[in-house]
């Protein structure tokens, strides 16, 4: 029962990517597959940055104010945030390649429609459609990369992702600025320009991305997707309009905040009941995933604050063109690209990532704090240095938060865990942009009022009430004194936004401090599963054999037994609901299959085993009533805390009856075998023909039933979760009997052989002193009866129904 079935390996084949059979992909194959992914990623990032420098002109052309400005950005971030968990869950269920292509199609459709917008409302709606596609592209790029590449090598390829990110971040504002400044193109082409890249990505993906498809039944948690989307939308509406349309402390605030909390509570309730939750809440029992998600939330706020508000700073506070606005942000993007590439290379070489993560947090906090001191007339070189620090910080933190999460989850949870961190980062971006946009509106209004109070009243009319109507002024149309006031208001207001964001970055750093560094694994998901199958490790009945299981935890536990030397591995053995599994047997073996240690879990589930030294080992946990579990653990000279999660086994019960009747088949022998023919369980039926087996691993088995006077029967059964019930009908067997006679009467010691129509010997019998013979449990059909003892005699007969009685055979010597 503790061996890996082929079905178990196939169920997780896609999570490792690579060649058939789980062979690692070559560097060239990975690069070819990544080309299409990076093109898709480039399109998604380009769409979010290309409009940043064009937004002042877009909003002015369509007629809108600061809130419309913010919502054009927020709309795509909102749908991207809400859809990321759904894309991630779908990636664990169906073809990742198909999902990427669908995301590209959705993005192209939204982009083309956004370019046709006639008012801010239409633009916001189509940007929301774009965001759905962007959510798929950003989530799936990292999920597929994680499926193809081992964590230790992923830092190397994350550099390519960082370079793509930086190129799109740099190229987007530049391209958007040039398009906007080109009279015969106009801002609408900012939405059309990404379409050719998306089409090219579709073609490249079709030719280069080849991943095995997961064989799983798809069941999407639509209720969870709806609730999380509704909660995020309501939260965004509140932070956007609070302090403007209504007071921060008002009945609207209480209603919206209360409604958001209720929706989040309902979401959590639904996720605990869903068979395939959008965000598996059990993942948050892993300290790394929880801390990384919270840190990503704050990093998202800081990252998009720079991307969105710098365009306003350079165009409205420093009177630069959209094109120059893009050029002037290059220090930030260059820092991001440099940090992503360099940190990725070093992480691949050393397997260590936490130092880079903490350094990124320090630089991010410092950059935002320093940006909070700038004004409209601050020397550009100083602003450039501050932007570079911000870019370096984001580059060191953004990818590493996802990487440390992917390093500690089972292959089956790879998509959900990756999308969870991305979800929180997108949530931070979305809520942060809305909240900071609202803050910016108020700060600009306050600074405009203060500035106008020092001017001649005749200049106040030049703004046409823009400080109250929330419209973005045309800087070129303003007189000199008034223009200086507006530039100063925007410069000071945007600086305040960065200053308010600095404590948020500090929180990201503080949460990152408590993430425990686990060295990156050197094998991809499929490679681990294939290695486990080949070595026939005892827990292969579990679908997560030889992978870092979903039960990986980092909680500190007391050592349940004194250490006997070596480096200890300790933790808890828990059930699916997080309850301790006492008396569970935990065995430590080498990758070659040699047992190195053994422990029995205490009443609280705690265990401890000692390893000989640094290296990779396999932990096997087994307990009565649970499915065995194996996990790979890496030891680097320091004690390792590692929890194991056991899932309950399934059962099989049923009844055996005579065919065509309700009569039970008592004392029938029932045998359960796996797909390789190994016997898993045996038993006999009771008075009512009933039988029950517990502790069976879910999957396909063969149930064979045999009872006296009946024909044996075998049938395949698919055992799922819980107890599977079946009914087996046995047909009564026909019989053939008679007496062998000679001239002197019944003949003893005569040998009788029964042969079927195909020439197969069905049975043999030797007569007693009464000359009687009998064959039972026969199928209906044509038979030949051969009797020997004298010269043999062969007779043919047909057996039907319950058989033939009185088939006597006469034997005699020749001449008698």
Distance CA 719, CA 406 (A): 31
Distance CA 544, CA 529 (A): 7
* Interval 470-484: pLDDT, tens: 556 666 667 777 778
Task: Count Cβ atoms below 10 Å from residue 550 Cβ, excluding itself.
Answer: 24
Q: What is the mean pLDDT of each run of 10 residues along the chain (816 residues)?
A: 33 36 54 71 72 71 67 75 74 75 85 83 85 79 68 59 65 74 78 79 75 55 80 77 74 89 89 75 78 85 72 82 78 81 74 83 91 89 91 82 72 65 76 77 83 68 48 67 83 89 89 77 44 38 33 35 62 76 86 82 88 83 77 80 76 82 83 82 86 78 84 82 78 82 82 86 86 83 83 82 75 63
Task: Count Cβ atoms below 10 Å from residue 377 Cβ, excluding itself.
Answer: 11
Task: Count Cβ atoms below 10 Å from residue 269 Cβ, excluding itself.
Answer: 14
- Report helix, strand or coil for 793: strand
Enumerate the β-bridge partners of residue 692: 653
Name the CA dihedral angle for 221, 223, 228, 229, rounded to a multiple of 10 degrees. 100
Name the CA dihedral angle for 294, 295, 296, 300, rounded to a multiple of 10 degrees. 110
pLDDT attached to residue 362:
92
pLDDT attached to residue 551:
33
Contact 567, 611 (CB under 8 A): yes
3-state SS string over 312-350? HHHHHHCCCCHHHHHHHCHHHHHHHHHHHHHHHHHHHHH
Task: Count Cβ atoms below 10 Å from residue 714 Cβ, excluding itself.
Answer: 12
204 sits in the region (left: phi over 0; alpha: psi -120 to 50; else beta) called: alpha
3-state SS string over 661-691? CCCECCCCEEEEECCCCCEEEEEECCCCCEE
In which residue are the tokens 């200086």 written? Answer: 484
pLDDT attached to residue 363:
92
**Phi/psi of residue 346, each to 5°?**
-65, -40
pLDDT attached to residue 147:
65
What is the per-residue DSSP string for 3-19? S--HHHHHTTGGGG-SS
Distance CA 286, CA 284 (A): 5
Distance CA 401, CA 515 (A): 10
- Report helix, strand or coil for 594: coil
Q: Give Cα separations from 785 to 753, 761, 775, 807 (angstroms).
A: 6, 10, 11, 10
pLDDT attached to residue 461:
54
pLDDT attached to residue 370:
92
**Does the global pTM surpass 0.75?**
no
**Phi/psi of residue 715, each to 5°?**
-145, 145
pLDDT attached to residue 113:
86
Q: What is the radius of gyration, based on Cα positions, of the chain?
A: 36
Tokens encoding 777: 């449990």
3-state SS string over 138-201? HHHHHHHHHHHCCHHHHHHHHHHHHHHHHHHHHHHHHHHHHHHHCCCCCCCHHHHCHHHHHHHH
Total residue length of the chain: 816
pLDDT attached to residue 382:
92
What ranges in 733-809 are assigned the alpha helix state H? none
Q: Give Cα separations from 635 to 356, 416, 515 (angstroms).
A: 21, 26, 17
Tokens encoding 318: 């420093």
End-to-end CA distance of the chain: 64
pLDDT attached to residue 625:
66
Tokens encoding 502: 């600095």
Pairing type for strands 803-804 and 734-742 reads parallel
* Interval 44-99: pLDDT, tens: 777 766 776 677 677 777 776 656 666 777 777 777 777 777 777 777 667 777 88
H or E stretch at 696 = strand 690-696
**Phi/psi of residue 679, each to 5°?**
-75, 125
Q: Give Cα separations from 354 to 296, 360, 518 (angstroms).
A: 14, 10, 9
């Amino acid at each position: 029962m503790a061996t890996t079935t082929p079905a178990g390996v196939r169920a997780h084949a896609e999570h490792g990517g690579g060649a058939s059979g789980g062979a690692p992909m070559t560097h060239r194959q990975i690069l070819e597959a990544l080309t299409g992914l990076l093109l898709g990623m480039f399109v998604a990032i380009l769409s979010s940055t290309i409009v940043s420098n064009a937004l002042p002109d877009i909003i002015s052309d369509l007629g809108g104010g600061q809130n419309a400005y913010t919502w054009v950005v927020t709309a795509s971030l909102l749908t991207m945030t809400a859809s990321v968990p759904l894309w991630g869950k779908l990636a664990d269920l169906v073809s990742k390649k198909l999902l990427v292509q669908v995301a590209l199609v959705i993005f192209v459709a939204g982009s083309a429609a956004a370019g046709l917008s006639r008012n801010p409302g239409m633009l916001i709606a189509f940007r929301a459609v774009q965001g759905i596609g962007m959510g798929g592209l950003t989530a799936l790029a990292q999920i597929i990369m994680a499926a193809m590449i081992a964590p230790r090598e992923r830092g190397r390829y994350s550099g390519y992702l960082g370079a793509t990110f930086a190129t799109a971040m740099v190229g987007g504002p530049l391209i958007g600025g040039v398009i906007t400044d080109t009279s015969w193109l106009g801002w609408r082409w900012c939405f059309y320009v990404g379409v050719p890249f998306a089409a090219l990505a579709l073609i490249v993906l079709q030719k280069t991305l080849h991943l095995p498809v997961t064989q799983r039944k798809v069941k999407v948690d639509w209720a969870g997707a709806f609730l999380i989307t509704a909660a995020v939308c309501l939260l965004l509406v509140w932070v956007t309009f609070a302090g403007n349309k209504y007071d921060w402390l008002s009945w609207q605030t209480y209603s919206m905040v209360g409604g958001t909390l209720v929706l989040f509570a309902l979401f959590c309730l639904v996720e605990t009941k869903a068979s395939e939750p959008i965000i598996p809440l059990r993942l948050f029992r892993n300290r790394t995933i929880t801390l990384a998600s919270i840190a990503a939330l704050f990093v998202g706020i800081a990252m998009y604050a720079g991307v969105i508000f710098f365009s306003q700073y350079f165009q409205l506070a420093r009177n630069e063109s959209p094109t120059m606005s893009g050029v002037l942000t290059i220090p930030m993007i260059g820092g991001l690209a440099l940090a992503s590439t360099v940190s990725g290379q070093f992480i691949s070489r050393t397997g260590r990532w936490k130092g880079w993560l903490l350094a990124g947090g320090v630089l991010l906090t410092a950059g935002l704090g320093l940006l909070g001191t700038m004004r409209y007339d601050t020397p550009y070189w100083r602003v450039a240095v501050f932007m570079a620090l911000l870019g370096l910080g984001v580059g060191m933190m953004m990818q590493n938060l996802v990487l440390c999460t992917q390093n500690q989850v089972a292959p089956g949870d790879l998509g959900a865990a990756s999308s969870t961190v991305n979800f929180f980062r997108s949530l931070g971006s979305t809520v942060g942009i809305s909240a900071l946009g609202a803050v910016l509106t108020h700060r600009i209004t306050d600074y405009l009022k203060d500035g106008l109070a020092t001017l001649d009243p005749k200049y106040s009319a030049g703004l046409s009430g823009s400080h109250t109507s929330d419209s973005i002024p045309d800087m070129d149309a303003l007189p000199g004194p008034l223009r200086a006031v507006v530039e100063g208001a925007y410069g000071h207001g945007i600086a305040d936004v960065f200053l308010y964001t600095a404590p948020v970055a500090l929180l990201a750093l503080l949460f990152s401090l408590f993430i425990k560094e686990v060295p990156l694994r050197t094998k991809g998901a499929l490679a681990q599963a294939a290695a486990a199958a080949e070595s026939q490790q005892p827990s292969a009945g579990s679908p997560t054999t030889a992978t870092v299981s979903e039960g990986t935890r980092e909680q500190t536990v007391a050592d349940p037994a004194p250490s006997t030397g070596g480096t200890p591995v300790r933790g808890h053995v828990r059930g699916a609901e997080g309850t301790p599994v006492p008396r569970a047997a935990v065995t430590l073996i080498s990758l070659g299959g040699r047992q190195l240690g053994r422990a029995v879990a205490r009443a609280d589930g705690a265990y401890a085993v000692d390893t000989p030294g640094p290296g990779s080992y396999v932990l096997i946990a087994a307990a009565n009533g649970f499915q065995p579990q194996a996990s790979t653990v890496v030891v680097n000279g320091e004690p390792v805390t590692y929890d194991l999660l056991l899932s309950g086994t399934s059962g099989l019960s049923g009844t055996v009856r005579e065919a065509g009747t309700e009569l039970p088949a008592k004392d029938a022998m029932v045998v359960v075998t796996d797909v390789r023919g190994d016997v898993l369980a045996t038993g006999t039926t009771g008075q009512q023909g009933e039988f029950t087996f517990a502790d069976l691993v879910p999957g396909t088995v063969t149930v064979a039933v045999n009872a006296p006077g009946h024909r044996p029967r075998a049938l395949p059964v698919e055992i799922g979760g819980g107890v599977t019930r079946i009914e087996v009908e046995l047909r009564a067997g026909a019989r053939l009997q008679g007496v062998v006679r000679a001239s002197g009467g019944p003949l003893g010691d005569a040998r009788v052989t029964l042969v079927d129509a195909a020439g197969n010997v069905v049975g043999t019998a030797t007569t007693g002193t009464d000359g009687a013979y009998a064959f039972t449990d026969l199928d209906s059909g044509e038979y030949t009866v051969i009797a020997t003892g004298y010269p043999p005699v062969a007779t043919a007969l047909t057996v039907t129904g319950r058989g033939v009685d009185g088939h006597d055979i006469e034997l005699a010597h020749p001449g008698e």
